[in-house]
Every structure is written in C-alpha cells, then in structure tokens.
Amino acid sequence: MTTFPPDGYQRVASTLPGIEVYAPVAEATEAEAAVVQFKCPRCQATTAYSAEEGGLRCAHCGYYEPPSTPAVGKRAQEFEFTVETVSAAREAAGWGTERRTLRCQSCGSETSLPPGRLTSTCPFCGSNQVLQQDAPDDHLRPRFLIPFAIDADRCRAIAREWLGSSWMTPKSLKTAAGVTELTGVYVPYWTFDARTSASWRAQVGHQVTDRTYDSSSKTWKTRTRTVWRWESGHVARVFDDLLVPGSDKLSSHLLRKIQDYDTQALVPYAPSYLAGLLAQAYDVPLESAWAVAREQMRDRTREACHGQASTSQVRNFSMSLDFSDESWRYVVAPAYVAAYRYGGQSYQVMVNGQTGAIAGQRPVDWTKVWLAVAAMVAPGLLLGLLGVLAAVLGTVMPPSLAVGGGVLLVALVLVIIGGVFAVMTLNKARGMDDV
Amino acid sequence: MSENDGSLSEVRALEAIGVVCEQCDWRYFAPGDGTIPDVSPSSVCPHCGSARLIPLDRDAADHLYSAPPELVVPFGVSEAKLAQQIATFASGIPYAPPDLTATALRHRLQRLYLPMWLVDVDVTTQWGAEVGFNYEVVSHQERYADGAGWRTAEVRETRVRWEPRVGTLERHYDNTAAPALETQAALQRVLGSFDLAGAEPYRPESLGRVLIRIPDRPPQAAWPDAAAALQERAARECQIAAEADHIRSYRWSPAYTDPAWTLLLLPVLAAAYLDDDGAPQRVLIHGQTGQVYGARRGSMKRAQRVSLITGLIALAIFAIGLVLALLSLLLPPLLVVGIAIALAAIPVGIGAIFPIARVWSYNRKQADVRMEV
C-alpha cells in the first residue's frame, strides 16, 4: 500500500475505536438538470438525435455531435430482486402518472406534459427538451436504451412497402395513403434473466399392440392399447434478456410483433439519445412485468419437461420449479408509431426503430377478398352442378349416372380444398386490421 | 499481573522447581518446595508413566521460563464422569492386560497442566480486505400439477455482496494464545479443544501440587502462531468496524510493539497401564470434557495362553477319538464313535486360533493410536 488511502476511497464510519475504514467512493451520480435542452453550440438552433448517424445533428448548420456513450450490450448492468428494490417498485406503481409542467428555457413558455412522457418539443420555439424525471428508487429509471437505428424517412418507406405488400389491400393504398403521423418513441421495456430448474413426474402413455386368436371366429385379432408408465426427469433452462413491454398505452399485440430487439446494442442512458423524440416512462410496474416473464419462463420450462417424456401422451403431470439468478433491467427501445388515414378511417402502424420490423393495421379491399373466396370454391361448385346434371341424365342414359357420380366425388374434394383456402384467406383478411 | 518480554532467563517468581524425567527427558515444574506431588519422590512421569522424576540440574534450571502463569483453565470434569469415561475406556478390550482395569487407571490418575503462551501486544497497520454484506432477494418456487394448475410461493434468499475496504488499525490485543508445546496441535486433535473462556486468573494456591509441563517451545518459535491468531482477531475486528457480515482476503502489514508473554495452563489428567511387555501405555484425559485418549491394547500373552489351552483340549479329544478307533479292532462299534470324537476335535482346534487372531486384529487397529502428546 504505497499511498493511503488509495485513490477513489473515502473514509466511512467505523464501529470500533482504533480502526479506520475506507470504502470506494460511490459511482458519481451526475448532478442532472431537471430539464436538458438541445441547442447547437454554433448557431443556437435546435439539435436532434439522428438515427442514421447515431449522434446529435443540427438541421440548420449541419453541426454534428457524436454519441457520448459507447454500446455496452449485454454487459449493461442488471439488478437483482432485492427486498428493497421490490418494495420500491411496489411503491413506484404510480410513477409517471402525474402531469408535469415543462417550462421552456428558450422562450419561457410552459407546456403541460401528458402522463408518462419524458420528452417534449416546445410548440412555440421548437426546442427539444428531455425531462430528467425523478424515480423513488434510482434503479427504476431507465439506465440503458437501444438507440434508433432507422430514421423516419426509411421508416416511411418501409411502411409504404408494407402497405402495398398484400393483394388484399386496396390497389390505391400504397399511393393514396399518406402516413400522416410518424412518431419516433422510446418504448419502455423490462428485460429479465433467470435460470429455471425443474423436476417433473408424469404418467407417459405407450401404445402396445396385442394380437389374439379368436377361437369363435377362428381369426387373429389385433388390439392397440395404451400402457401408462411413470417417468420423471430434470430440466434446467437459462433465460437471457426476456423482453416484457412496460407500456400499456400502446397495443401489446403490436409491440409483441415488433419486439425482436437486439440487446447487444444497449447503451447507457443519455438524454441526447432522446432529443427530438418521444419517450415514455413505464406504466406496467416491475412486479407485474416480472409475473408475466415468470409465466413465460415456467411455461417454456414445462414444455421442455413435456419434451423429455418418451412419448407425447402424458397424464398426471406434476412439476416443481425453482427460479435462481433472477435479474432485471429497465430499458427503453426505439419504435415508430405511425398513423395514416384511408377512406376516412384511421389505421395504426408500429415499426421497430432498430430492425425495421413492422406490424399494424391495413384496410382490406373486401371486394377483392370475396372475389378470391368465390374463385376458390367456384370450381368445386361448378363441377358439382355438372355432376348433378350427369346424374339426372342417368335416369334416361344409365351410363351417365356413373360419370355423374365420379364428377360429384371430384367436386366434393375441390369444394373442401377451396373451402379451407377460403377460410384461411378470410381469417388473414380479418387479422389485417386487428390490433 | 506480571508480564515480561519473553526472554527465557526471566523472573523467578513462580514458586516451583524444575524436574525432569530420567527416561523421556520431559520437564515439569513441580510447585512448592521441590517435593513431587502425591507420591513424592517416587512419583512417575505423566508422559512415560514409568520413570522417576528428578530435579533439573542448575544449568538447565537457569534457562527456564518460570514467570507465574497469567491464566489457568480449571479442572472441570466431575469425578463421576471421569469414572464413567475410564470404565468405558477399560471395557470391551479382548483379553485385556491384567494391568488395564478401571480401578488401576483411576488409582494412577495424575493431574497435569499443559502450558500455552499468551501474548499481549500493540499492533499498528494498514489493512485491506473484501467485506461481505448479507442482503435478501425475493425469489419464487412454483409447483404445477394437472388439474390444480400453478401454485407460486415467494421465497427470500440471503446472498452476500462483497465490497473492497481498506483502513488503518491501531489496537492493543490481550492474551492471544499460541502453542507452547511442539505437540500442542496433536494434543488438541486427540483430546479436543479447550474452552478458554473458563480461564481464571492464576492464584498460586489454586494449582495445589499439580505438575506443570515446561514449555518446549520458546516465545520466538511460538510467534508465527501468535501472529496468525492476531491476524485472525484483527480481521474479525475490521469486519465489525466495517459493520460487515463477512470478511475475506484480509491483508495487512503489521508493526508490533511491546509484546509481553505469559502462560495459560490447560488441565489434563494422565494415567498409564502396563502392556504385555511391561511397557507403560499412556492414557490422557481432557481436564474439562473427560475425553479419553490412549491405546487400548489386548494382551497377546493371555490370548496365546487361551489358544494353547484350547489347542491342548482339541489334541486330547483327538487322542481319545484315536484310541477309541484303535479299540474298534476289538469292539467294532467303537469305530464310529472314535471317528466322530476325532472329527469333533477339528473345530475345537480351529477355534484355538481365534483368541490370537482376535487380539492381533484388535491391536492392529489400535496401532493407529499413537501417543504424540
């Protein structure tokens, strides 16, 4: 020990006289301004986060400020479910629900922020502002985020392409539908890691075929029966970065469809990533999200247990499951929420701001769909009519009776096949505007 | 409470003379005026149990550390427990030597104090360690059964969070114990540890006329053990000072000042019995718990005697059978009886080996019991 105390240590309380104790200085928590504004240092115009370049860009003079925090990916700090954190999370259930008034430091105007919003653009002077909101537990602030990698223009192109990618949509949709609102928003997510260790026991059915001789009929008879045997096993699974949406304001159906985020791109939270974009605070509390994640984990573990059984016939299944090494993170991930109008109706689209995965509602041209359905079942019906005709003719010309029967049989097969495809098409069409 | 710096030619305050065993050269303080306790002057050495103790010559006596002890752990085992322990020790031995009886052992019981060094010292150091803090996490256990669905139980687990700490230490440590005998560790291994919390301040009259083993390990030699014990105490105190639940990887670079050495006396009882060869076999008893340690050896001579007698009986039976078989030349029916009797001699003859084999086997197991103390 050359220098004492070493750099980065500070004296802390000691309970015994004659003994001094020094502990590492707690990681400096930056004194955060309540509101961070983004002004170009060159021209004082408003800067905004550029998804294309990954830093702040001034649209006025072209000034560029690179990102301050490098990606940490899966090394991003995770938190355990300590008793204190769980209690704080319970108390924090209402966090973000209060409406906050943001005073613009540029023009002095006041804007009322809706619940859960962390960012704002001043409607009077266009300044981008990020609200550094307080949380009852420091852990319950977003510490990491996945930055936008797709800019609004590319997102718009993706949306256009997607709109015209289905034959079921109106022909004019691709050109006529203007994506009226394309909002980049950081959506809150909880990520969970855990190990599951399960022991299971069940009766597994095995098909056994017996061959017996029936003396009365003097024939051999085959009988298949199920023999149930007890089996047991052990399954261990590791879950890494299981994502659960932290927002109940956005469609969970759409969020699930686009949430293939790559957590390798996680960066430490910095307000500059939020400049000019919307960001939501979580409104699904940690405990509820963890319950959802646990449900998914245990169901997948149960499936793995079932997979260990020697056949798929299982009954009296029971299992016990222990969770260990549980940890969580609160992150925000990029998404574009778009709305467009077509035929007087409003439709929603959501695009993954990192990968470009898209999900949403599309209007359906039901004329096209019904025509397609008709085309699918028509051959069978027409053939059926021909078959009936031939059968009727069979009363006067007996050979045509047999022909009519054959045609009817083929028509029946075609109707069934056409009907299946028709139902699938209708379901798909119905799902296109489902949210 | 007088303490000194540990030099061996120190104080002559302990009222005792040094005595030495003629045979094993073990040295004792015999308290009082030089008479050997109990059966003076023909008392046996508690170590080898056979030879006489004689006063140390003047040269040797001059180099003894004879400051009075600071603390004494009193004898705590009751007479009843002692009798029971000795009876248990003396029982169950196949063909035990005639001298190995509970009565004889009790009669020869001799009290003895074994020394341990105590060091008082001031320590100044910088230290570093990892300290652990317990914290609780909320986890879950789930049970599933067809029909019953999932049942979830919330469980709390204690985990340890390790953090680095450094610091300074300036403390005085009293009575850190270190072995004063080379065989201290072996002694504690076979007899068990002593409860030092029961130690009482030394009073000359409290020792009576009990022999005290003279340290064969000077303070200088005992110092590494004392330093290790001091480090352990310091680590524990640093853990308390840091309000931590655990400590590990403790490192320090201590400076010791004013070390003062005194003695702590540990109570044991010694007895002995003579084995087949007339050699004394020692028995040691923990003075607090009554734990007995010693080799329990069967008498091979007795076993051989029994085997010989049994062998002779077998031979006699066989001879009778043989005679009857010969007589069958005159009286044929005797042939069968003669053969039966001769055959009966075989198991008896084989049984004659049993006492020797049993004692041999038993003594082999006892060979592991070595008197290292």
CB A55 within 8 A of CB A67: yes
Q: Which residues contact A396 (CB under 8 A, 6 or more apart)?
A: none
Contacts B142 to A, Cβ<8 Å: 294, 298, 320-323
CB B261 within 8 A of CB B5: yes
Domain encompassing residue B308: 301-366
Does pLDDT of B36 surpass 70?
no
pLDDT at B52: 75
Classified as helix, coil or strand, A292 is helix
CA distance B44 to B283: 13
pLDDT at B5: 42
Could B168 and A9 be called an inter-chain contact, meaning their C-beta atoms sit closer than 8 Å?
Answer: no
Could B138 and A81 be called an inter-chain contact, meaning their C-beta atoms sit closer than 8 Å?
Answer: yes
Is B1 contained in some domain?
A: no
Residues B100 and B85 grouped into a single domain: yes
CA distance A130 to A117: 9
Of A1, A19, A320, the CB nearest to B169: A19
Token pair, residue A48, equals 């905004």
In this structure, what are the phi and psi dihedrals at residue A373, rounded to the nearest 5 degrees?
A: -60, -45
Is A246 contained in some domain?
A: no
> What are all long-range contacts of B364-371, with beta carbons under 8 Å and residues at least 24 apart?
B366/B295, B366/B296, B366/B297, B369/B293, B369/B294, B369/B295, B369/B296, B370/B295, B371/B281, B371/B282, B371/B284, B371/B294, B371/B295
Question: Residue B7 — pLDDT band, cuts 50, 70, 90?
Answer: very low
Q: Is the CB of residue A303 less than 8 Å away from at least one CB of chain B? A: no
Of B165, B170, B253, the CB nearest to A18: B170
Contacts A201 to B, Cβ<8 Å: none
A-B Cβ pairs (cutoff 8 Å, strict): 103
**Which of residues B277, B298, B319 is at a domain's end?**
B298
Q: Is A279 left (phi over 0), alpha (psi -120 to 50) or beta?
A: beta
Q: What is the pLDDT of residues B144-183, one digit of tens each?
A: 998 889 999 999 999 999 999 999 999 999 999 999 998 8
Residues B182 and B256 grouped into a single domain: yes
**Which of residues B262, B277, B298 is at a domain's end?**
B298
Is A68 contained in some domain?
A: no
The number of distinct structural domains making up chain A is 1
Percent helix, strand and coil across chain A, each rounded to 5? 30, 35, 35
The residue written with tokens 């050359």 in the block is A2
Bigger pLDDT: B33 or A37? A37
pLDDT at A421: 93
The number of distinct structural domains making up chain B is 2
Residues B261 and B355 grouped into a single domain: no
Q: Return the C-alpha torsion angle A123, A125, A128, A129, nearest 10.
A: -80
The ipTM is: 0.72
CA distance A323 to chain B (A): 6
CB A24 within 8 A of CB B164: yes
- The strand pair at A178-214 and A278-279 is best described as parallel
Q: Over range B260-283, report the average pLDDT.
A: 89
Is B122 contained in some domain?
A: yes
pLDDT at B73: 93
Could A83 and B136 be called an inter-chain contact, meaning their C-beta atoms sit closer than 8 Å?
Answer: yes
Domain encompassing residue A393: 366-431
Residue B78 burial (CB count, 10 A): 10
Is A386 contained in some domain?
A: yes
Residues B284 and B334 grouped into a single domain: no
For residue B44, CA distances in Å to A349, A412, B281 come to: 103, 117, 13
Is B146 contained in some domain?
A: no
CA distance A158 to A150: 10
The residue written with tokens 């004082």 in the block is A44
Residues B286 and B307 grouped into a single domain: no
Please name the residue of chain B whose CA is at the shortest distance from the CA of residue A83: B137
- Directed axis angle between helix A83-91 and helix A286-308, to 10°? 120
* pLDDT tens, chain A, 435 aa long: 568 889 999 999 999 999 999 999 986 655 555 566 777 888 877 787 887 777 888 877 888 888 777 778 888 878 888 888 877 776 654 333 343 556 666 666 555 455 556 666 655 455 666 555 554 455 567 788 899 988 888 888 888 788 778 888 887 776 765 655 677 888 889 999 999 999 999 999 999 998 888 888 888 988 899 999 999 999 999 999 999 998 887 788 888 888 889 989 898 888 788 777 777 778 888 889 999 999 999 999 999 999 999 999 999 999 999 999 999 998 989 998 877 777 777 778 889 999 999 988 888 888 888 999 999 989 989 998 988 888 888 878 878 888 888 888 999 999 999 999 999 998 888 877 665
**Which of residues B264, B279, B298 is at a domain's end?**
B298
Could B168 and A81 be called an inter-chain contact, meaning their C-beta atoms sit closer than 8 Å?
Answer: no
For residue A342, CA distances in Å to A411, B73, B135, B305 come to: 40, 97, 57, 118
**Best-predicted range by mean pLDDT (A338-342, B18-22, B69-73):** B69-73
Please name the residue of chain A whose CA is at the shortest distance from the CA of residue B135: A82
Is B135 contained in some domain?
A: no
CA distance B287 to B78: 9
Residues B277 and B359 grouped into a single domain: no
CA distance B206 to B212: 13
Q: What is the pLDDT of residues A356-377, one digit of tens each?
A: 999 888 888 888 889 999 999 8
Sign of CA dihedral A177, A181, A186, A191: negative
Bigger pLDDT: A118 or B106? B106
Is B50 contained in some domain?
A: yes
Q: Over range B23-28, report the average pLDDT.
A: 82
Q: Is the CB of residue B139 less than 8 Å away from at least one CB of chain A? A: yes
Residues B113 and B55 grouped into a single domain: yes
For residue B26, CA distances in Å to A75, A364, B55, B113, B244 come to: 66, 107, 12, 13, 47
Residues B212 and B336 grouped into a single domain: no
Q: What is the pLDDT of residues B173-232, one digit of tens each?
A: 999 999 999 888 888 888 998 988 888 998 877 777 788 888 888 888 999 999 999 999
CA distance A7 to B239: 22
